Amino acid sequence: MTQDVIDGSAVMGRDVWILGGTGRSGRATATALIERGITPVLVGRDAERLAHAADQVKRATSRGSALDHGTAADHHPSIQPATGCKVLTAPSPQAVATEIQRHRPAVVINTIGPFTTTAPVIARACITAGTDYVDLANDLAAVSAILDLDKAATDAGRTLVTGAGFGVTATESVVVALCAGRVGALDVRVDMVPALEVEAGPIGDALAATLLEGLPGVAGGGRFEGRRYRDGRLVRARIAGEVTHLTLPDGVTVTTASMPLGELMAAQRASQASSVVSSSSEVPGSALVRAIMPLATSVLRWSAVREFAKRRLAKVEVKARAKPREHSWGHARVTWADGTTREGWLRVGEAQQFTGTVPAEVTRRLLEGEGGPGAHTPAALFGAGLAAACGGEYLLD
Ligand SMILES: NC(=O)c1ccc[n+]([C@@H]2O[C@H](COP(=O)([O-])OP(=O)(O)OC[C@H]3O[C@@H](n4cnc5c(N)ncnc54)[C@H](OP(=O)(O)O)[C@@H]3O)[C@@H](O)[C@H]2O)c1
């Protein structure tokens, strides 16, 4: 075993913690942090899995495989890669919250879904401890819950960044780039098109819960209904509706359909448009799925059915899958009051790798004091340049 275990007496003032340090996103983020000269602490439920994850991160770092588009040391020559993650065992998000208050790390990166459950408790602990907070939430309920903590974070002088993964960051960045220097956007549609490599294994508790939790506490409709913005307000909308066939800049065609993602709120805030729709290529847009969706979501209203479905779904084994296309894409189309429309794309490599890089780059900037107090989404805080610093490439009208 090559890593140290944090003992109870350590004072961790400048440390960066990754919650869910054993997971795919946690490991990818750890690797990208090390490439930026920052050695994270991996936090998880099981000491053995943590030790294994720390070794995997060390191997990935020594292979220099963290970034498709050069390492952070290439972008920032003063940065030297760091190595050797420490680990910290905590059995639950509540126990992690207690540890945050005790050790007061500089930044906590939360990769434990469902974020509707973990994000508010961890973010509140961070605000009290004087710690900055970053998460990978991509669901509307969790993104909205963190953005609602804006005043508490501002009053405490802390920064909360939600949506720091491919989901939210890719499409939000395109909206920010298209709307730079222009006001009066009326209508926005964003489409996320990830190219995801899938590891073999069970779906797992966190993802199963994220998929089946719906939108608790989100204005404008019921827990298992879709959402969009109309007249500047969140209203009910069909899930898997508004089917669109897109031709990507590299000529590949994909179909996207509406989904009430964190992207929806980020795109509305970035554009101030009154009409906004968020869509994904991961939503099957077939007529059959659209017919089944209301039935499936109506039975999920019963918590016993939901818990049963979550347990079963968590155990479902998925097969390893190579990424379905070369690039992942964030797409946005914005129409202004004067009738002009602009379209833009952000091209990145494998979406999971981008999801590791964004929180690492956000954290680096927070450690360097570039954040601002309050609750933000990534491109709203750091501008369109953030995605470019993470290897993304813009193709704008
Ligand atoms: N925004 C985006 O674009 C984006 C992209 C990718 C993923 N995500 C989201 O990020 C989350 C993580 O994704 P992933 O692919 O990294 O998942 P993963 O590989 O299954 O990892 C999940 C991690 O969370 C931990 N965990 C799960 N339930 C926990 C609990 N109750 N208490 C403490 N730790 C718990 C697991 O620890 P153990 O080892 O102890 O099980 C593991 O470390 C998911 O919710 C996913 O939807 C977002």
Task: Select from 16, 31, 27 the least CA-distant residue to 62.
Answer: 31
Q: Based on the fold, state whether residues 70 and 162 are members of the same structural domain.
A: yes
The alpha carbon of residue 12 and the mean position of all alpha carbons in its chain are separated, in whole angstroms, by 25
Contact between 389 and 361 under an 8 Å Cβ cutoff? The reply is yes
* Tens digits of residue pLDDT in 304-334: 777 777 788 778 887 787 888 899 999 999 9
* Tens digits of residue pLDDT in 188-236: 999 999 997 777 888 777 666 666 778 888 999 988 888 999 999 999 9
Residue 397 is assigned to a structural domain of this protein? no
Q: Based on the fold, state whether residues 172 and 190 are members of the same structural domain.
A: yes
Residue 396 is assigned to a structural domain of this protein? no
Measure 19 CA to ligand 1 centroid, in angstroms.
9
Q: What pLDDT was estimated at residue 8? A: 43
Token look-up 């905590």 returns 90
Q: Based on the fold, state whether residues 112 and 192 are members of the same structural domain.
A: no
Task: Select from 7, 8, 93, 9 the least CA-distant residue to 44.
Answer: 93
Containing H/E element for 246?
strand 244-247
User: For ligand 1, atom 48, which residue shows the shortest CA distance?
Assistant: 136
User: For ligand 1, atom 33, which residue shows the shortest CA distance?
Assistant: 92
**Which parts of the chain register pLDDT below 50?**
1-2, 8-12, 65-71, 73, 75-81
Q: What pLDDT was estimated at residue 12? A: 45
For residue 294, whether the previous peptide bond is cis, meaning omega lies within 30 degrees of 0, is: no
Q: What pLDDT was estimated at residue 282? A: 82
Contact between 24 and 116 under an 8 Å Cβ cutoff? The reply is no
Q: Which residues form the pocket of ligand 1, taking CB atoms under 6 Å from any ligand atom?
A: 20, 22-26, 44-46, 49, 92-93, 111-113, 136, 138, 165-168, 204-207, 210, 355
- Residues of the domain holding 370: 16-166+353-390
Containing H/E element for 150?
helix 150-156
Greatest CA separation found in the chain? 63
The closest-lying atom of ligand 1 relative to the alpha carbon of residue 45 is 40
Residue 4 is assigned to a structural domain of this protein? no
Q: Based on the fold, state whether residues 196 and 244 are members of the same structural domain.
A: yes
Containing H/E element for 277?
strand 275-280
User: For ligand 1, atom 22, which residue shows the shortest CA distance?
Assistant: 23
Q: d(Cα 214, Cα 180) in Å, to the nearest integer?
A: 33
* 3-state class (DSSP) for residue 210: helix
Say which DSSP state 40 is in: P
Q: d(Cα 275, Cα 259) in Å, to the nearest integer?
A: 15
Measure 250 CA to ligand 1 centroid, in angstroms.
31
Q: Based on the fold, state whether residues 242 and 338 are members of the same structural domain.
A: yes
Measure 153 CA to ligand 1 centroid, in angstroms.
24
CATH code for the domain in which residue 346 is found: 3.30.360
Contact between 121 and 130 under an 8 Å Cβ cutoff? The reply is no
Q: Based on the fold, state whether residues 130 and 195 are members of the same structural domain.
A: no
Contact between 207 and 196 under an 8 Å Cβ cutoff? The reply is no
Task: Select from 198, 3, 24 the least CA-distant residue to 111.
Answer: 24
Measure 356 CA to ligand 1 centroid, in angstroms.
12
The closest-lying atom of ligand 1 relative to the alpha carbon of residue 50 is 39
Q: Based on the fold, state whether residues 50 and 124 are members of the same structural domain.
A: yes
Q: What pLDDT was estimated at residue 306? A: 73
Q: Based on the fold, state whether residues 91 and 129 are members of the same structural domain.
A: yes
Q: List the beta bridge partners of residue 233.
A: 230
Is 243 exposed, middle or buried (CB count within 10 Å of its CB: 0-12, 13-18, 19+)?
A: middle
User: For ligand 1, atom 17, which residue shows the shortest CA distance?
Assistant: 23
Q: Based on the fold, state whether residues 39 and 179 are members of the same structural domain.
A: no
Q: d(Cα 165, Cα 192) in Å, to the nearest integer?
A: 12
User: Which positions ≥6 away from 166 have C-beta within 8 Å?
Assistant: 192, 194, 328, 330, 348, 351, 352, 354, 355, 358
The closest-lying atom of ligand 1 relative to the alpha carbon of residue 163 is 1
Q: d(Cα 148, Cα 141) in Å, to the nearest integer?
A: 11
Handedness of CA 292, 113, 37, 50 (dihedral sign): negative
Q: How far apart are the first and last CA of the chain?
A: 52
User: For ligand 1, atom 28, which residue shows the shortest CA distance?
Assistant: 206
Q: Based on the fold, state whether residues 150 and 183 are members of the same structural domain.
A: no
Q: Based on the fold, state whether residues 128 and 253 are members of the same structural domain.
A: no
User: For ligand 1, atom 31, which residue shows the shortest CA distance?
Assistant: 92
Is 103 exposed, middle or buried (CB count within 10 Å of its CB: 0-12, 13-18, 19+)?
A: buried
CA neighbours closer than 13 Å in the CB half-sphere of residue 360: 31
The closest-lying atom of ligand 1 relative to the alpha carbon of residue 92 is 32
Q: d(Cα 267, Cα 174) in Å, to the nearest integer?
A: 9
